[in-house]
A = this chain, B = another copy of it.
Amino acid sequence: MAKSKFEYVRDFETDDSCLPNCWIVVRLDGRNFHRFSEQHEFKKPNDDRALHLMTKCAQTVMQELEDIAIAYGQSDEYSFVFKKKSRWFKRRASKFMTHVVSQFASSYVFYWKDYFKDQQLLYPPGFDGRIVLYPSNQNLKDYLSWRQADCHINNLYNTVFWMLVQRSGLTPVQAQDRLRGTLAGDKNEILFSEFNINYNNEPLMYRKGTVLIWQKINEVMTKKIKLPEETEEKEVEVTRTRTKVVPLHCDIIGDQFWEEYPEILAEDSCYL
């Protein structure tokens, strides 16, 4: 039962390492989440439990894996951006994709009950992932802008759609017909005139999605210590600095965000 005569099959594996000096984005999407959200009675158009669980999973991914500079999520998708300079697993695309989605998927089930309480998880959900490379910082910013613009467009639509269904009693098909061909201004107008809703006052998390970045946190802790020359313990305050994954719900399309957090795109230890 020698392994050696079969070892040749390893030669069929291909090298899938990513081009150096490019941002590596892994985007994950829920599989059949339309059905999943109905079966688990997600609140429409936005379910806070589901959004917070997604973000918890994304935080776990950022903490467990290496070299993720920023993540952005909305609805049932999350994008993870690995640093240009990352050498994690020799930049092998399959490693990046499978570690992200498997860690996310196991976390989703693991943390489910912390967010959904009595709502039982009926079956283990699936996620798919893809990988895309972006050579320049501008390309990367445009990618993230594309996802945030998508969030805005979908959320505005869904907000009006579900108002029409939930409050005006339209059927989904009627609501769809009503909205066909409307522009953003029209949708804002319907929300305001018919439901007295100013879209701009809707929660930022719904309108902007969630950005996850690393931040240095100063923690002040009280510690009991005994100095050598003293006989009694004494309480002192100790400040400890840690990095933590922090969620933000802000605009990332304009320049302000990137000027405020220049370290995200900084290539301190990059090739160049």
Number of interface residues of A (CB under 8 A): 69
B-contacting residues, A64-109, CB 8 Å: 64, 93-95, 97-99, 101-109
- Of B8, B110, B139, which is within 8 A of A109 by CB? B110
- Determine if B104 and A12 form an interchain contact, defined as CB atoms under 8 angstroms apart: no
Q: Are A121 and B110 in contact (CB under 8 A)?
A: yes
A253 and B99 form a contact (CB under 8 A): no
Q: Which of B98, B109, B143, B149 contacts A106 (CB 8 A)?
A: B109
Interchain CB contact (< 8 A) of A31 among B99, B105, B126: B99
Flag if B103 contacts A106 (CB, 8 Å): no
Separation in Å of the A154 CB from the closest CB of chain B? 10
Are A9's CB and B103's CB within 8 A?
no
Q: Are B15 and A14 in contact (CB under 8 A)?
A: yes
Contact with B along A117-156 (1 / 0, CB 8 A): 0000101111111111111101100110110011011000
Query: Is A255 in contact with chain B by the CB < 8 A criterion?
Result: no
Shortest C-beta distance, A62 to chain B (Å), equals 13
Whether the pair B2, A135 counts as a contact (CB closer than 8 A) is: no
Nearest chain B residue, comparing its CB with the CB of A138: B272
Q: Are B3 and A146 in contact (CB under 8 A)?
A: yes
- On whether A132 and B6 interact (CB within 8 A), knowing A97-B98, A102-B102, A272-B139, the answer reads no
**Which of B2, B8, B60, B125 meets A142, CB within 8 Å?**
B8
Q: Which of A5, A106, A111, A136 has its CB near the most chain B CB atoms (within 10 A)?
A: A106
Contact B98 A110 (CB under 8 A): no
Docked CA distance A99–B32 (Å): 12
Contact of A128 with B98 in the complex, beta carbons under 8 Å: yes
B-binding segment of A19-27, A160-168, A188-196, A225-233:
A19-27
Say if the beta carbon of A171 comes within 8 Å of chain B.
no
CA A142 to CA B9, docked complex, whole Å? 7
Sample of 5 more A-B contacts, CB < 8 Å, known A1-B184, A94-B129: A1-B152, A8-B142, A19-B135, A109-B110, A110-B123
